[in-house]
Amino acid sequence: MTEGVEIHQARTNRADAATTSVTRSRTSSLEAVETSSFPEVQHHSTGGAEDSGGGSVAPDGGWGWVVVAATVLVLAMTLAFPSCIGIFYTDLQNDFQASNTETSWVPAIMIAVLHAGGPICSVLVECLGCRTTIIIGGILSGLGMAASSFAQTLVELYITAGIITGMGFSLSFQPSITMVGHYFVRRRAFANALSSTGTALGLSTLPLLANYLLSSFGWRGSFLVLGGVLLNCCVCGAVMRPLGAKPKMKARTRQTNNHQLKTNCLSISQEREGLKGRLRATLSTVMSFLRRHMAFDLLCSNPYFCAYALGMSWMMLGFMVPLVYLVPYATAYGIEQDRAALLMAILGLINITVRPVTALVFGLPRFHGSHNFAYLFATAVLINGLSNCICGMATSFPVLLAYVLVFGFSMSVIGSLLFTVLMDTVEMSRFPSALGLISIMESIMLLLGPPLAGILVDSTRQYAYVFFACSINGSTAGLFIMLSFYWLDRQKDREVKSSFTHKDTNSLKQSIKMTIDCDYSPVPLHSNSVRDMETDV
């Protein structure tokens, strides 16, 4: 009997095992059919992972150092180029029979367009990428400078050397800075400081090159040769390989599809609502463009960015003026043209020497903290502004040399921390649009600075007042940035302390309430057991 039960149980177990195996095989086959029938589900899940930035991790080295070297050359040929226009200042003034105000518009327009082209540059970077945008900028700057050699009036020079060349500079230098920010995170301060030596390299070499070309070929031949030099920006842009090309392409495809979907929805709403729908659609498009490429919302939502943008804009009113008027100021008081150009070269050499040192020093852990770079930047701006008083007090070559030393040292610190402070103030995803907005704000001041200085020279017949005005401008800008960040940090600390105090108070109240709500009962006395013990005793 027992053997029969065991045989029946064994048969039952075998049947259950067979049923389980058949079920598993059917389940696996159904899963395979579902996977093969719906491949887009699997593709969608992997696409989300790629969009999260898994394929574009900053290497903090490797090919990034090639990008830094290319950025050095781009900044040398773009940001430093307007300073060498001062070498041709007197020749342009004499050739076109123009005043200081009229001649000063040439570097003013160039510098202003260089900074004002930020939104256009941001759009091109989004559509074409950083590499292609830099190459387009190199072509524009080279052709614009070459066309300037054929200008017959100052108005033509405003268009060719000012607008076309300035726009080429803008399309070249801003994507280069953005590429450095993408390639470096942990060593970003060092990489930015190292790439900013490009401006110093241009300041030390371009004035000497311009002075040599001027003495050999005149200003027209010099502009033609410099146009060929600027075409090397195309070579620098070609080596800037983008990070995570495939995820960006997919994200761009999704963005295009979303844009098409939004366009279709807007077209339907326009048919329903008529003119009101068109106005709303236009306003929505404009606001979307301003948010993506101009970052106007950060002025209201980020007080640190607002303070930095206002201080930087005010500083730029007089920051570039000494670079434009230093050579005319020196030659007007009897210093030879070669020695005046040497002052600009010394200024560049100081920047080349100091900026790598500041990059290593600022990379130390003691400088890594809450807005420490902002305070260092504000101090450098303050010293840079006060140094202009040295130039206005005397006109001898030793005094001008001392001025160049102090001005160059503070300028190198400013250049090393300029983009680092901005990257610490805003998120990296908003950096291109934030840089575009600051560039627009700075361009207005840069456009007004040299002409206002020219008006001051024409009215007073003295260059010293220009440097005194620049001293007031720079020192007030440095104080504004320093005090603004200090006040905002104090406000932030107070909010943090109040939040902690509020949490502690709430936890204390909660604990007191829990203590009050607890019901305590005395230990019951078992009287019956006690009586029994007494009875036994």
Residue-level pLDDT at 4: 47
Contact 405/483 with Cβ under 8 angstroms?
Answer: no
Closest CA to 411 of 463, 346, 476: 346
Q: What separation in angstroms does the CA of 494 have from each of 318, 487, 491, 497, 503?
A: 36, 11, 5, 5, 14
CA distance 87 to 74: 21
- Cα–Cα distance for residue pair 416/373, rounded to 1 Å: 10
Distance CA 475, CA 388 (A): 10
* pLDDT tens track for 344-385: 888 888 888 887 787 777 766 666 655 678 888 999 999 999
pTM: 0.64
Could you tell me the end-to-end alpha-carbon distance of the chain, in angstroms, rounded to an integer?
67
The CATH number fitting domain 59-242+284-491, selected from 3.40.50.700, 3.40.50.720, 1.20.1250.20, 2.60.210.10: 1.20.1250.20
156-177: burial string, b at 16+ Cβ within 10 Å, e else: ebbbbbbbbbbbbbbbbbbbbb
Which pair of tokens denotes residue 248?
A: 């960006």
Orientation of helix 464-517 relative to helix 303-319, angle to 10°? 170
What's the pLDDT at 71? 92
Q: Contact at 8 Å (CB) between 401 and 343? A: yes
pLDDT given for residue 312 in this prediction: 92
Grouped pLDDT means (10 residues each) for the chain, 537 residues: 45 49 44 37 32 51 87 90 84 87 89 83 85 94 94 92 93 87 79 79 86 91 94 92 58 50 52 64 69 72 90 91 87 86 86 79 65 86 93 85 92 83 82 79 87 89 90 95 91 80 63 57 49 48
pLDDT digits (tens, 9 = 90+) for 177-231: 888 888 887 777 778 778 877 887 888 888 889 989 999 999 999 999 999 999 9
Residue ranges of domains in the chain:
59-242+284-491
Short-list 400, 402, 408, CA closest to 326: 400
The 10 Å CB-count burial string (b at 16+, else e) for 450-475 is bbbbbebbeeeeebbebbbbbbebbb
